Structure 1
């Protein structure tokens, strides 16, 4: 039955990427009602409405697998797997309610600060769902990740970069620095009186610190995990920089989003934890 959890992780990941496409194509309000697009089961004709309706459909499938995971884990496991599966289900319900609120308040327009915060919070909910599912998978499997694992201090730098990256995307600050790198608004240290430029500048510098943190981890650890993780960090850098320099070319935005959420799942799975062995009643 471990395949159920695998599908929950896969569909949650797809939902997050699909949501990024919806955001990048301004399709968030293409369906005027919720949860159905036009109040019935008719297939939308507009491409933007199809994207939004598809996102809702995949979200529903992901939610179903999260629920099935929760039921099975609570029936067959004790301890940490129960906690993480419960958190996944809790934030799945919360994300559904947030999505409804976004449509009713027309938050995808990003007209008010409350809209920006609501949209950002919705992504954080998705990250919490994905992270909880990944940890559930880690806790229930017999063969734990080998080696020392990714240190918390390095993970914290990466997480801070991702959190500010979400704020950059959903406050409309992605182009605040212009289509340039490493300069921002024509300078290495721009005028920070504009909050969007300041947010983008903070995000970029956190990204630099994250790169240095994982370089240090690689030098100190010299493990295969550290090498693979550093390679993923560099790949994320390539996509992010290419996206900015290209003027946010949609395929590069897609790759940046997909690699970013994959990196989050990878780091969470391999995070160094001192968790006890779960109390198993049956094996998957």
Structure 2
């Protein structure tokens, strides 16, 4: 029996775009320093349901809270709907649980940061949870599209070394995301002026904590790019006939190149353009989602 899932697919696309919007808004809040735009009150904003005559930072923070709340409900509905309609697919329950947990937990983390305050280490996780939430909702949506057309349910047969390299690279990409978020929350983005040198030095002093954080992120980003190049070459050499893997590996290379270019642009422009910083956050989220999809593909059983 052919399953169409028209409503679920449309709802999944809307939910995915919604989570992406929340992710972008979160990056905007961080880059504009609007985290305290509603003071230390939550869910109210300065004790008001709707703030009157708010300054720009309050508009940014309040709109982020409002959209995040709406999207959170959409994600929960998407998870329940998928659980009911796609329960015959082995990935559905896991992705449904992850999507709900991440959207709820990141909301609580953000609320806790407003009311009680949080360390930079903890707040850096907020963006990482957003990336996981986005990836899980996108993959649920992808399952709905695949189940509508059984001929497009990809089950690529790959070797164990390739499978674990994809999984390992994806896990590492999440760590790289965390280093980038930590750079933002510690205001270390401009600790190194210039690129590829840091303040005109090949090996600068790392006794300054901001420089150490910036160099850690640069090193993590370069290693991620290297891993993705290896993945791309490996995929083309061994699995060139598996179009879906080649497409994903190619997208990963394009996205990491854009990620590197936007990161360099942030440094060279001294973070004067917020759009570049937000684009930087957007690209790494899309890259992580592509890699998560590859993990889902290579983890499937041949006899599924």
**In 1: Cα distance, 2:83 partner to 2:225 partner:** 39
Q: Deviations over 1:101-122 (max 9, x none)?
A: 11112x4xxxxxx421232122
Aligned-pair CA distance for 1:207: 1.3
Correspondence 1:99-178 to 2 at 5 A: 99-105=110-116, 107=117, 114-140=118-144, 141-142=146-147, 143-145=152-154, 151-177=166-192
Aligned-pair CA distance for 1:43: 4.8
Correspondent of 1:37 among 39, 42, 45: 45
Are 2:93 and 1:82 equivalent residues in the alignment? yes
Are 2:61 and 1:52 equivalent residues in the alignment? yes
Q: Deviations over 1:126-164 (max 9, x none)?
A: 122122223323444332357668822433443332121
**In 1: Cα distance, 2:153 partner to 2:141 partner:** 10
CA RMSD of aligned residues (A): 2.4
Are 2:266 and 1:251 equivalent residues in the alignment? no
Q: Which residue of 2 aligns with 1:234?
A: 257
Q: Deviations over 1:154-204 (max 9, x none)?
A: 334433321211111112222222x21111233222212233322221211
Q: Deviations over 1:39-67 (max 9, x none)?
A: 22345431111111111111012101111
Gaps of 5+ in 2: 1-7, 241-245
CA contact (8 A) 1:27 1:52 kept: yes
TM-score normalised per structure 1: 0.86
Cα gap change, 1:252 to 1:146, in 2 (>3 Å)? farther
CA contact (8 A) 2:169 2:224 kept: yes
Q: Pick which of 128-137 and 81-90 moved more.
A: 128-137
CA contact (8 A) 1:35 1:100 kept: yes
Q: Deviations over 1:229-254 (max 9, x none)?
A: 21221111111101111001222112
Q: Deviations over 1:59-97 (max 9, x none)?
A: 012101111112212222324212211221122222222
Gaps of 5+ in 1: 108-113, 280-284
TM-score normalised per structure 2: 0.80
